[in-house]
Chains A and B, each alone.
Chain A
Amino acid sequence: MKSHVLSQLRSLEAEAIHIMREVVAEMQRPVLMFSGGKDSIVMLHLAAKAFAPARIPFPILHVDTGLNFQTVLDCRDRWASRLGVQLVVASVPEAIDRGLVQEEPNGSRNRIQTPVLLEALEKHGFDAAFGGGRRDEEKARAKERVFSFRDDFGQWDPKNQRPEIWNLYNGRVHQGESIRVFPLSNWTELDIWSYIEAEEIDLPDLYLAREREVVNRNGMLYEVNEFTPLRDGETAERKLTRYRTVGDANLTACVESEATTMRQVVEEVAAVRLTERGATRGDDKVSEAAMEDRKKEGYF
């Protein structure tokens, strides 16, 4: 007799597809927030699956910080053209020129991309925005709903979240309010990688190891390039590295790795002993509650 048990990856896939269809059926104008990172690419892949053989019935929005790895932009354009999906770009440098936001002293555009995102959501009238956030990433995310209500300032109120029972999602909003939707809520980093391998998903080549010229700053390895040039007194070294996460090019560190294939990446992730944000994101180390604060302001 057949067991009729769905494997855990296929269960997570089915859940994500269910969530995406629910949003398209109930919301007026959804959009998928696309960063070019692996999680948003997995989301896009799932969206394509959810509505096949039809095209994805919503656009994708990229908040372009102007600090992108070129290979990430190339990958973004490859996906958009292959799926025939509309790409909306909201530019942070342009918002700086207009005076909407100001460059921060440390050069991070992580925080200032929030107003740019909120402006784009409002301008296009998007009432639901898919994000690639996962609950295993960080403490503030562990309490995030799948359908996360945002007031008309895009703010998240952790004390006033809608109860989410069974898979009965409630996306009802008033004019100006919106919902952030996280179809990958229950995925872990290892699930993401295992799925990427199983589905042979096209990623920027940053995620695979090759020899890079890197500099060690406080234990984090940064590639020496236009975004992170050598500072006085620093010396570069050549190391076999790959990226575990892809954020702003001036803030994302790589890790030493010998994984040149997806299979090897999965093996490394299964064995690794450091959370991905702890290992590679300078921007999350600001304070213990950094993510909680950014989320309240309307961050992804």
Chain B
Amino acid sequence: MTTATEPAGSTAGQELGVYEAGSTDLLRFATAGSVDDGKSTLIGRLLFDSKTIFEDQLESVEQVSKDRGNDYTDLALLTDGLRSEREQGITIDVAYRYFATPKRKFIIADTPGHIQYTRNMVTGASTADVALILVDARKGVVEQSRRHTFLATLLGVPHIVVCVNKMDLVDYSEEVFENIRGEFTEFAARLRVPDMTFIPVSALKGDNVVDRSAHMGWYEGTTLLSHLERLHVASDRNLVDVRFPVQYVIRPQQNDARDYRGYAGTVASGVMKPGDRVLTLPSGLESTIESIDTADGPVPEAYPPMSVTVRLTDEIDISRGDMICRPNNAPTVTQDIDAQICWMDETASLTPGKKYAIKHTTRWARAMVKGINYRVDVNTLHRDEEATEIKLNEIARIKLRVTQPLFVDKYQNNRQTGSFILVDESTNKTVAAGMIGAVSHGY
């Protein structure tokens, strides 16, 4: 058995099995918190204790710590970003970091925690399997903890890990930990949290991050890394509802493959097999999957997030933006969208009547804001039904009318077919992330 404390890169022979093309999986997690919570230190600790930090990176961090007159090597410096951020002493943007253990490869979306960066947290959480939320043991559950938890659940992150940090500063007290756990659980009961775990840690001292703490005998759970390694995420994916948004039609203009016509795309959900009866939208025509092709040859089945090329037995007119699904399990075809959005543009706000470009799966259309149902206060969850405009970092429930039908599912059932972005047609900036709520049938 390998334990979490073994270095990721030191025993090549043992490691290699893992890097065969087929033996480890990928876990994406998002962290949120401010500098004060010790988030950067925690990530630095994960990278450092899992031996992901390279010697030259460590040397540079040790040197900077020394130059600044620090008592100890500031692991937070490992995740320091752009010069403009260093100058201001803040984190502006989502940074992506990578590490691997013999069990898994991890992608961390490291996002700043302040309220003005809600947009970054939404970005980081959009693809995350796990949200890691930091709580300062001395301060307990604060406004920011609630906001991060709300945003993680809004974005449908299936697992939440609450790290109660700085346990060294509260004498590793079980009582403090249990109080925070109780308070957090009570608050989270109001949200849709599928799975939540609490771990007492000290990122600075290394307790329970990668190595087990020698100071918290009362804690019977696993370390953070061990938890992340063992977390079962395969069942989070939707393998029931076949949704295959057509991305690109492959029609070789070559003599050797002139008759080939394949629909390339990424499986959004469900499992597809040759011989399956399928329904294509918007045409409503049915056909059968003849073959599921890849550059390495046909495959017996395709599931998310595979990128494949589907051929059908019938010649149907299908193009980018169309959807392949099953005859008795189709998404809702509608031009009326009811969705939660996070507004991401600092220059312009959203108001009823405004028009935007909308991208949903592989389909672009135009959308008009029909109305604002309410704005959510991300700290108190209070709904303001009088809201008339939505500004940067605000969350709201809105209604849209789209110029052509979209093939949608509720976001809580399908993160791929339930999500969209809005784009400002004059600046081309991505201005909103949308999560489809109630779906009303277009016909």
Contacts and interface: CB of A to CB of B under 8 A. Distances in A.
B82 A158 contact: yes
- Describe B's contact surface by its main secondary structure: mixed
Contacts of A164: 123, 430
A225 interface: no
Contacts of B120: 163
B262 to A, nearest CB: 8
A168 interface: yes
B276 interface: no
B367 interface: no
A268 B16 CA distance: 10
B415 A166 contact: yes
A78 interface: no
Given A159-B84, A271-B9, A165 B251 contact: no
Interface stretch (A30-38, A48-56, A93-101, A235-243): A48-56
Chain A contact patch, size range: 35 or more
Contact of A165 (B126, B293, B357): B126
Contacts of A292: 82-83
B243 interface: no
Interface residues of B, number: 86
A170 B252 contact: no
Given A8-B26, A159-B92, A165 B12 contact: no
A21 B26 contact: no
A158 B307 contact: no
A194 B19 contact: yes
Nearest to A53: B257
A127 B356 CA distance: 22
Contacts of A18: 247, 266, 305, 307
Interface in A1-48: 2-15, 17-18, 21-22, 24-25, 48
B359 A168 contact: yes
Interface of B: 9-13, 15-16, 19-26, 54-57, 60, 80-84, 92-98, 100, 104-105, 107, 119-120, 122-123, 126-127, 234, 237, 239, 247-248, 250-254, 256-257, 260, 264-266, 271, 293-296, 301, 303-307, 309, 320, 344, 357, 359-360, 362, 415-416, 419-421, 423, 428-430, 433
24 contacts: A4-B234, A5-B25, A6-B304, A7-B24, A8-B105, A9-B21, A11-B25, A14-B305, A14-B307, A15-B307, A21-B307, A22-B247, A22-B362, A143-B81, A159-B84, A159-B92, A165-B126, A170-B359, A170-B428, A185-B96, A186-B96, A270-B15, A274-B56, A289-B83
